[in-house]
Structure 1
Amino acid sequence: MTILLAPMEGLLDHDLREVLTRVPGIDRCVSEFIRVTDQVLPARVFLRICPELGRGGRTRSGVPVRPQLLGSDPACLADNAAVLATLNPPGIDLNFGCPAKVVNRHGGGAMLLDDPEGLTRIVAAVRRAVPAHIPVSAKMRLGTDDDARAVECAQALADGGAAEIVVHARTRAQGYRPPAHWSRIADLRAAVTVPLVANGEIWSVEDAQACREASGCHALMIGRGQVADPSLALRLAQGSDALLDNATLGELLHHYWAQVSQRVEPRHRAGRIKQWLNFLRRRYPQAEQAYQALRAHNDGRHFGQALAQWFPLTGGHEAAVAPR
């Protein structure tokens, strides 16, 4: 089974990718989208959003990261992809799935699924603009208001030259509301020859198994499920039911705090940790207790000390999450 870590705008940035990939099991990551409008971005913009490009396109644990482009103009996307290619990424991903209104208002993300011919033009332009050894992949939803053109869209992406297609098994209108319609991905698999990756509503080992059976996909992309349970990809790889122990989870939280403290303004630091704790409390009772105790704590300079009251730094579990 191949496990991809999903992009999550506003949450799963390079700091959290760095921490989550310290636990084995994730085979590849995709960055948050890099928005392309009407100009060619300088290399520093790509490096800011995907700093892994500065070390061979990999996290410190060695997991490759594909930067993702979002836009609607084939020529401008191609020009930006050409610049991005000079940074030698392990691949370039194209976003046709974002349901955010601010993105959709400008004709980007999932709104492009109303124009399958436009999908082909975009992928083909980007494919022509980058060297052949750099794969170009795409992420789509099942459609905008309904899934009537889902197969047509998948075929359009494949016709444009996409080497792989991630399918979030919901429409734009469905957002992130359960359920995800995994069985619909099987229809797309029957219509295209490129590999498909199933995505959406995978929170547990049981969800992953059900998704694979319904979609027929060997590869899965997980996002919120991995944020809520950093052991999920590892458990999928090993067929295990064991969650991380509190000491190991604490090491991850403190490592994340160290990352955030280096890059984030003090007034925003506590919010970043509490945002992750809010996900973790779905699976980890200690995280629930910490979240309830710290939710009103906003001192960004001393939040790490408060966190240590719930997850003491022991130093004895570093090997369990050491970079590969």
Structure 2
Amino acid sequence: MLLLAPMEGLLDFSLRDMLTRVGGIDRCVSEFIRVTDRVLPDRVFTRVMPELLSGSRTPAGVPVRAQLLGSDPAVLADNAAALARLQPAGIDLNFGCPAKTVNRHRGGAVLLDEPELVHAIVAAVRRAVPAAMPVSAKMRLGHRDRSKMVENAQAIAAAGASELVVHARTKTDGYRPPAHWHEIARIRESMAIPVVANGEIWTADDARRCREASGCDALMLGRGMVTDPGLALAVRSPHQPAVPWRQIEPLLLHYWHRIAGHVVPRHRAGRLKQWLNLLRRRFAEAQALYDAVRCINEPARVEQLLLSLRSAPQDHFHQASSPPISVSETTW
């Protein structure tokens, strides 16, 4: 089982569409839907997860679970019940987001300091939705340390969750390597529900080592999948040829047209650059294209450049490469 992680601000429904077209992903999770003090209208759910309007599946047919984030068990339960009427492929609960703004408002990884509250949230949501609808959760190893990781995992399982994804770092660890896959093994051994390992899986070899260290067969892929859209296929068949750039390149124009429907013009070039920034870690051609588009912000010029890829020779965009920059996108 290979899952596609949500990445707030990057891996939204448009990029889910592109990556699931490549293949290898069994299920996706939406970006979190923030719940505060009231039941959200349907339009909020469908704005974050428009797949709700098409059978809770991406255009490639991959099911998507909707993720909720909040700290009030009763309000989360009410929102889960409202969301369940839209028939998502399941409801996921976020106990892993490390963002300071989210944590400051008692959301995400900060809740791992309160296993009793974690249990209450999962239990309330489980009671609120139909028995046949899966309820899962994602957590980190802890907030500041790992002292409560097993207690939190057991609280989630005891509350009725059918699956748990564990990102193998604490909130304090952020996204600094390494991911502590061996700690996931301790969680997996303490409970009966399926556990999915997540964190620092960039290659098929990383996936193999993660499985060995964690004991988990199921994995969630995040930044590694955005960097190499063929990663899921490579994990499934490590000896098969890698997905080449010529199969990835047409998706860029599809992606551009997809985001045009929901991203305001002044931000569209930035979204494309975010993806190219990750792709260039894997593909030299993406580095060349990133260099070509880096200083362009006008949508018409970006589209003209992407359209020119259709007839451009292989080395059309090869030029002096800019230095690598850090990857700061967040997987939640």
Q: What TM-score comes out, normalization by structure 2 length? A: 0.92
Q: Which residue of 2 aligns with 1:250?
A: 249
Aligned equivalents of 1:298, 1:199: Cα separation in 2: 34
Distance 1:167 1:311 in 2: 41
1:104 counterpart SS class: helix
Q: 1:310, CA displacement in angstroms?
A: 4.8
* 1:63 matched residue in structure 2: 62
Deviation at 1:263, TM superposition (A): 2.3
For the pair 1:47 / 2:46, whether they are aligned, the reply is yes
1:226 aligns with 2:225: yes
The amino acid that maps onto 1:38 is: D
Give secondary structure in 2 for the equivalent of 1:69: strand
Q: Which residue of 1 aligns with 2:272?
A: 273
The structural deviation recorded for 1:193 is 0.6
User: Aligned with 2:7: secondary structure?
Assistant: coil
Match of 2:180 in 1: 181
**For residue 301 of structure 1, what is the aligned residue in structure 2?**
300
Output the aligned Cα RMSD: 1.3
Identity %: 62
Q: Distance in 1 between matches of 2:48 and 2:213?
A: 34
Structure 2 CA distance, aligned partners of 1:15 and 1:35?
20
The one-letter amino acid paired with 2:284 is P
Separation (CA, whole Å) in 1 of partners of 2:76 and 2:152: 19
Q: 1:322 maps to what in 2?
A: none
Matches within 5 A, 1:111-150: 111-150=110-149
The TM-score normalised by the length of structure 1 is 0.94
Name the SS for the 1:302 alignment partner: helix
- Structure 1 residues 115, 313: closer, same or farther in 2, change over 3 A? farther
**DSSP 3-state at the match of 1:206:** helix
Q: Give the Å deviation of 1:71.
A: 0.2
Query: CA–CA distance in 2 between the matches of 1:296 and 1:240?
Result: 39
Output the CA distance in 1 between the equivalents of 2:293 and 2:129: 47
Tell me what 1:217 maps to.
216
Q: Would you say the 8 A contact 1:247–1:311 is kept in 2? A: no
Aligned AA (2:73): P
Note the C-alpha offset of 1:265.
1.8
**Residue number in structure 2 paired with 1:172:** 171
Q: How much does 1:299 deviate?
A: 1.1
Secondary structure of the residue aligned to 2:190 is coil
In the TM superposition, what are the counterparts of 1:6-21 in structure 2 within 5 Å? Answer: 6-21=5-20
The aligned counterpart of 1:320 is none
* Inter-partner Cα distance in structure 1 for 2:183 and 2:104: 27
- d(CA) in 2 for partners of 1:215 and 1:193? 15
Structure 1 pair 39–218 and aligned structure 2 pair: CA distance change class (3 A): same
Q: Larger deviation: 260-269 or 189-198?
A: 260-269
3-state SS of paired residue (2:241): coil
Instruction: In structure 1, list runs of 5 or more residues that go unmatched.
Output: 315-324
Residue identity opposite 2:244 in structure 1: D
Q: Structure 1 CA distance, aligned partners of 2:189 and 2:161?
A: 16
Contact (CA 8 Å) 1:286, 1:310: kept in 2 or not? no
- Bigger mean CA deviation after superposition, 178-187 or 252-261: 252-261
Distance 1:72 1:254, change over 3 A: same
Unaligned runs of 5+ in 2: 314-332
Work out the CA distance in 1 between the residues paired with 2:246 and 2:199.
30
- Alignment length (residue pairs): 313
How far apart, in 2, do the equivalents of 1:312 and 1:80 lie?
49
Q: Does 1:101 align with 2:94?
A: no
- CA deviations on 1:90-122 (whole Å, 9 max, x unpaired) are 100000000000000011100000000111100
